[in-house]
C-alpha cells in the first residue's frame, strides 16, 4: 500500500520532518548516544535540559525504529496533500507539543513505574493513525489462511511494531500521540481552523533540500492541488467539462476519499469522477494515464 505518487511532491513539511529525523538519529547513533536521548524524569524536574526535549522529538534510538518510523512518516505524507501544507504544519505542531505535555505529566506522576521515554517522533506518527483510521477507506480485502486482511493492515502492523518496540517506554509516547490525534480530529479548541502563513511552508520547500525549482514553486502551502498533468485530450475534456458532461450528482465522498488516499488531490479526483460519470475505476485509470504523461 502506498501513499500516492512517489517522492515528496507538494509535501515540504513531511520532507523537512523526514530529513530532520534522519539527521538527528544517524549522528547520535554512530556515536552510541542514541539510547541516552530518551526523555527522563531528571531532564524535566531536576535538570531542565532543553536539548533533550528537542532530541526526544526527532531522534530514534535504533535503526529498526528509524526504518519503521521513516516509512510511516513517508506514507502519511498523503495527509499533507489532502489538507495542504499550511494546515498540516499546524497538525504536526499540535501533534508534537500536546503529547510532549502529556509525556511530561506521565513522567511526573509515574516516576516509580516509568523513569524514561524512548526518543523519536512517536507522537506525530501515532497521531497520524487517527485520520488514517477515519479518512482512508479500505480499497481491497484479502485473506491469508484464516486471517482476513485489507490493504491497510500492513500499515497497522508497522505501527504496532513501532508502538511496542521499547515496551512501556514507547507505548506511552504512542498513546499520547493517539490522544492528540483524537483532539485534532474532533476539533478540540477549534484547532482545525488554524493554519501557518504561506511564508513558513514556502521556506520549508527551500530549506529541505528541494530536488528542483519546480517542486518548490508547486508546494504552495494551502494550495495542495496537483493538477491533472498536461495531457492534451484529457485536459481539454476536463477544461470543457460543462460542455461534454451533463449535470450529474456530486461524486460520493467515499470515491473521492479513495482517490485522495492514492495521492491525488481533491479537485482532480472530483473532476475525474465527473468526467467518467462517477466510475471509480475509470477515474483512477484516467488520473494515472494523465499523470504518466
pLDDT digits (tens, 9 = 90+) for 54-86: 777 888 988 889 999 999 999 999 899 888 899
Provide CATH 1.10.8 ranges for the chain: 225-292
Q: Specify whether the CB–CB gap between 93 and 16 falls below 8 A.
A: no
pLDDT of residue 256: 83
Q: CA dist 31 to 35, 36, 54, 58, 201, Å?
A: 10, 11, 18, 16, 32
The stretch 4-20 carries a mean pLDDT of: 86
Q: At CA 71, angle to CA 63 and CA 191, rounded to 5?
A: 115
Q: What is the DSSP letter of 116?
A: B
The stretch 138-146 carries a mean pLDDT of: 85
pLDDT of residue 287: 78
Is the pLDDT at 5 greater than 70, yes or no?
A: no
pLDDT band at 234 (very low <50, low <70, confident <90, very high): very low
What's the chain's Rg over C-alpha atoms? 21
- CATH classification for the domain delimited by 12-198, as one of 3.30.230.70, 3.40.718.10, 2.30.40.10, 1.20.1540.10: 1.20.1540.10
Comparing 59 with 50, the larger pLDDT belongs to 59
Q: Which bin fits 7, alpha (ψ -120 to 50), beta or left (φ > 0)?
A: left
Comparing 224 with 273, the larger pLDDT belongs to 273
pLDDT band at 32 (very low <50, low <70, confident <90, very high): low
Fold of 225-292: Helicase, Ruva Protein; domain 3 (1.10.8)
All three cell numbers of 209: 533540500
Q: Specify whether the CB–CB gap between 212 and 271 falls below 8 A.
A: no
Is the pLDDT at 145 greater than 80, yes or no?
A: yes
**Can you give the pTM of this predicted structure?**
0.73
The runs of H, that is alpha helices, within 110-224 are 122-135, 153-163, 168-185, 198-207, 213-218
Instruction: State how beta strands 147-150 and 141-144 pair.
Output: antiparallel
Give the number of other CB atoms < 10 A from CB of residue 201. Answer: 24
The stretch 83-98 carries a mean pLDDT of: 94
Give the number of other CB atoms < 10 A from CB of residue 31. Answer: 8
Is the pLDDT at 230 greater than 70, yes or no?
A: no
Handedness of CA 272, 277, 283, 285 (dihedral sign): negative
pLDDT band at 201 (very low <50, low <70, confident <90, very high): confident
Distance CA(66)–CA(165), nearest Å, equals 11
Pick the range with the lowest mean pLDDT from 43-57, 151-165, 228-242, 243-257.
228-242
Q: Mean pLDDT of all residues in the chain?
A: 79
Question: At how many degrees (to 10) do helices 63-75 and 153-163 cross?
Answer: 140
The stretch 114-128 carries a mean pLDDT of: 93
Is the pLDDT at 3 greater than 70, yes or no?
A: no
Amino acid at each position: 500500500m502506498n501513499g500516492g505518487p512517489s517522492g515528496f511532491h507538494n509535501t515540504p513539511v513531511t520532507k523537512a520532518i523526514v530529513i530532520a529525523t534522519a539527521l538527528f538519529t544517524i549522528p547520535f547513533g554512530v556515536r552510541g548516544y542514541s539510547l541516552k536521548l530518551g526523555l527522563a524524569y531528571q531532564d524535566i524536574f531536576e535538570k531542565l535540559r532543553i536539548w533533550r526535549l528537542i532530541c526526544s522529538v526527532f531522534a530514534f534510538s535504533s535503526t529498526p525504529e528509524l526504518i519503521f518510523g521513516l516509512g510511516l512518516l513517508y506514507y502519511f505524507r498523503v495527509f499533507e496533500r489532502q489538507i495542504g501544507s499550511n494546515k498540516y504544519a499546524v497538525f504536526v505542531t499540535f501533534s508534537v507539543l500536546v503529547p510532549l505535555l502529556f509525556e511530561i505529566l506521565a513522567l511526573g506522576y509515574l516516576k516509580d513505574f516509568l523513569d524514561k521515554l524512548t526518543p523519536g517522533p512517536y507522537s506525530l506518527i501515532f497521531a497520524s493513525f487517527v485520520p488514517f483510521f477515519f479518512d482512508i477507506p479500505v480499497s481491497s480485502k484479502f485473506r491469508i489462511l484464516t486471517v482476513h486482511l485489507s490493504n491497510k493492515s500492513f500499515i497497522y502492523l508497522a505501527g504496532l511494531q513501532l508502538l511496542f518496540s521499547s515496551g512501556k517506554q514507547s507505548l506511552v509516547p504512542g498513546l499520547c500521540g493517539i490522544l492528540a490525534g483524537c483532539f485534532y480530529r474532533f476539533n478540540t479548541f477549534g484547532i482545525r481552523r488554524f493554519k501557518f502563513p504561506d511564508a513558513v511552508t514556502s521556506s520549508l520547500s527551500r530549506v529541505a533540500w528541494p530536488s528542483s525549482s519546480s517542486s518548490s514553486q508547486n508546494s504552495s502551502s494551502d494550495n495542495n492541488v496537483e493538477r491533472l498533468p498536461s495531457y492534451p485530450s484529457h485536459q481539454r475534456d476536463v477544461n470543457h467539462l460543462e460542455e461534454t458532461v451533463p449535470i450529474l450528482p456530486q461524486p460520493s465522498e467515499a470515491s473521492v476519499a479513495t482517490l485522495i488516499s492514492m495521492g491525488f488531490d481533491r479537485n482532480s479526483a472530483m473532476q475525474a469522477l465527473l468526467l467518467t460519470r462517477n466510475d471509480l475505476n475509470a477515474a483512477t485509470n484516467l488520473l494515472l494515464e494523465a499523470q504518466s504523461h
